[in-house]
Every structure is written in structure tokens, then in C-alpha cells.
Amino acid sequence: MKIVVTGTRGIPNILGGVETHCEELYPRIVASGYDVTLVRRKSYAQDSLKEYKGVKLLDLSTSRSKYFEAIIHTLKAVWKAKKLLADIVHIHAIGPALVTPIARMIGLKVVLTHHGMDYDRDKWGKAAKFMLRMGERMGAKYADEVIVISSVINTMMKEKYHRMDAHLIYNGVPAPKFVDEIDYLNFLGLVPQKYIFAMGRFVPEKNFCRLIRAFSSLNDRDGYKLVLVGDANLEDEYSRKLKKNARENGVILTGFIKGKKLHELLTHAAAFVLPSSHEGLPISLLEAMSYDLPVIVSDIPANLAVGLHHDSYFPVENEDKLAEKLAELIKNKPTKHKFSLEKYQWEYIAKQTAKVYERVLA
């Protein structure tokens, strides 16, 4: 079976939740005997790889405009899938899903993975939000099969589009890789168990600016520092202002990191914070949980669906309550906590996804 994947910026080591999802999923799909070609956006590919862990990589150029980048690239990828005689084109995210009817019209079978209601993101204007809603509608109506990554999205698909047959397949989390060394911590000037960190793209809906203000407002931090892991895909006024604010308040900025450096930070952190106003099913939260870290997260539906203890939540965008949670955490000396993550295992997720492919062609 030949599958062409689009809707992602690419793999490996490219910032983004969809990108992390694809990087973990498709090598496992290939290992199950499938032929997978993942179409990357050329401007994000910082290498000349033609294959990654068995996944064929195909680079296509596209506009770098945040409004047209995804749709133009997906159109090109769909046409390429037709030329490659693909059995299935798998589209990730609702923006790229706008081309689903076109893919169907030229004879392709389509699987859509809905990663979240992107029209709720703060960065988009009215026109962009309209197009994202249309993408969601086109995907819900015309995709042969739909995968949703959370129960929240599944409920929405049923109520809004009467799509009753969507497959609930969660985002996954890789097995933790604990690192005893603290070389990277020393480089950053950090002490084990004396820092709280957050991770993600530098975009408004992550609310890192609110986290910085809440942490900076604490009268007694007991030597704890705040670390932000991540960066912006495209530098803009918001990300520049966020970085400036972080530096002025003594926040440690690591940039986009993966591999051993990230594992070292996760191993030795005191706690993890996710103050987002919008998420699908946050891989960063699942990853922090896999390292047994205490977590503080906003009470948005996607985070509530993870089923954490009520003490882990604070009202979204409420800086005072977030500051209270941080102060309480520091006062009580955060301790490791074991979470149940069986349903978020990538091997299981790959098997579920493969069953969807088989269903499409049955």
C-alpha cells in the first residue's frame, strides 16, 4: 500500500506538534510494511535527506506566507500523490484539508487527521479563520476516513458535522530517555530540580507572556528559574517582544531543541507548565508526564480531557491564579508523580492508524 503524507512542514527535527506526531508515527507505519512518502515544505528542511527511518522524503517549494504556505504546498503534494499512484493521501490539519474535494475529484482516497480547531488560534485574522473553518468542513464532508486526536474534537465532529464514524486515535508520547548528566544544565546555568519549564512555539495562544509575568510577580522564588523551550517558525513582532520580555525578566531561552538536550531538561526539571488558550492534544504535556513531572496547565477542554488531578489546573488566561499555583508549587517543593499513559503509546497508535488505511481500501 502506497501512502503520501501532507499537511506537515516535514520531518525530522522540525518544530511543531503535527511534525512531532508524523516523526513518531510514520517510521512505525513503514515498519509494519507500508510504503510511505512524506512531502516536506522545502524551506523548512535543513537537510538533504531523501529518507528518514524508512519514510521517503520529498521536498516541494511553497510560499513562505503564513496565509498561503500550507494550502499551496498541499495542492502540490496532492498532485504529486496522483503522479506517484498513491493508494491514499493522508492530510494532517484542517487548513490543508481545504483541498480534500480536489483530491477526491482526481481519484485519490483521503484520510484526514484533525489535530485541533486552528481557527481558535489568536494569530489568525477573520479571513484566515474563515478559510480554516472551510477546511474543517471540506475535510469532514469529503474525506474517506477521519482521525481525531482527542475526545473533544470527536464530540465536535459529531455535533457540528454529524460525522459519526471518526476514529479517536490519541497523540502519542515516546518512552522517556532519562539523562544522568547535567552538562547542558551547567551550560544554561541551571541547577537540577530548581527550574520550572514550558515548551512550545512562540505564538500568542501559548500564553508564554502571561507565564513570564506570573512567574516574575512571585515575591519568593526560592532560587527557582523559569525556562522556555522553543521558538517561532517565522520571527514576527510577537515573538521578538516575547524574547525581549523573557530576557529582561531573567528567563532562560533555549531555542528549539530536541534529543539529549531536551531529555536532560526533562529529566532534571522540577515541574512543567502549559498555560495555552488553545491545544489539540498537547504532545509537550504528555512528554512532561512521561518524565513524571508535576504539571500546571490551563483548564481548556483539550487539557481537561487528559484527566489530571483538579489541583493541576488553573483558569485559562488568569495570571493571578497561575501565580498562585506557581507559588504553591515552589512552597511545597515539587515531587515526581507517576501518570498512566498506556493509551498514548506510539506502537498502539501506529496499529490503529494502519487499521484505518485498511478500512479505506477494504
* HEC-encoded secondary structure of 307-329: CCCHHHEECCCCHHHHHHHHHHH
Per-residue confidence (pLDDT) for residue 83, from 0 to 100? 97
Mean pLDDT of 1-18: 94
Q: What is the pTM of this model?
A: 0.83
pLDDT digits (tens, 9 = 90+) for 69-100: 889 999 999 999 999 999 999 999 999 999 99
Per-residue confidence (pLDDT) for residue 6, from 0 to 100? 98
Per-residue confidence (pLDDT) for residue 326, from 0 to 100? 97
Mean pLDDT of 264-284: 93
For 240, which DSSP code?
A: H
pLDDT digits (tens, 9 = 90+) for 176-222: 999 999 999 999 999 999 999 999 999 999 999 999 999 999 999 99
pLDDT cut 90: percent of the chain above it: 80
Give the CA dihedral 288, 29, 357, 281, nearest 10 degrees.
10
pLDDT digits (tens, 9 = 90+) for 123-178: 778 888 999 999 999 999 999 999 999 999 999 999 999 999 999 999 999 889 99
Mean pLDDT of 303-319: 93
Mean pLDDT of 240-267: 95
Mean pLDDT of 288-307: 94
- What strands lie across the sheet with 35-41, from one edge to the other? 51-52, 55-60, 35-41, 2-6, 88-92, 109-114, 145-148, 167-168
Distance CA 312, CA 302 (A): 14
Per-residue confidence (pLDDT) for residue 244, from 0 to 100? 96
> Does the pLDDT value for residue 225 go beyond 80?
yes
- One-letter amino acid at 105 equals M
Give the CA dihedral 210, 215, 217, 220, nearest 10 degrees.
170
Ordered by where they begin, the domains of the chain are: 2-172+345-361 (3.40.50.2000), 183-331 (3.40.50.2000)
Residue 291 near residue 204, CB atoms below 8 Å: no
What is the grid cell recorded at 138? 471540506
> Does the pLDDT value for residue 248 go beyond 80?
yes
Per-residue confidence (pLDDT) for residue 246, from 0 to 100? 96
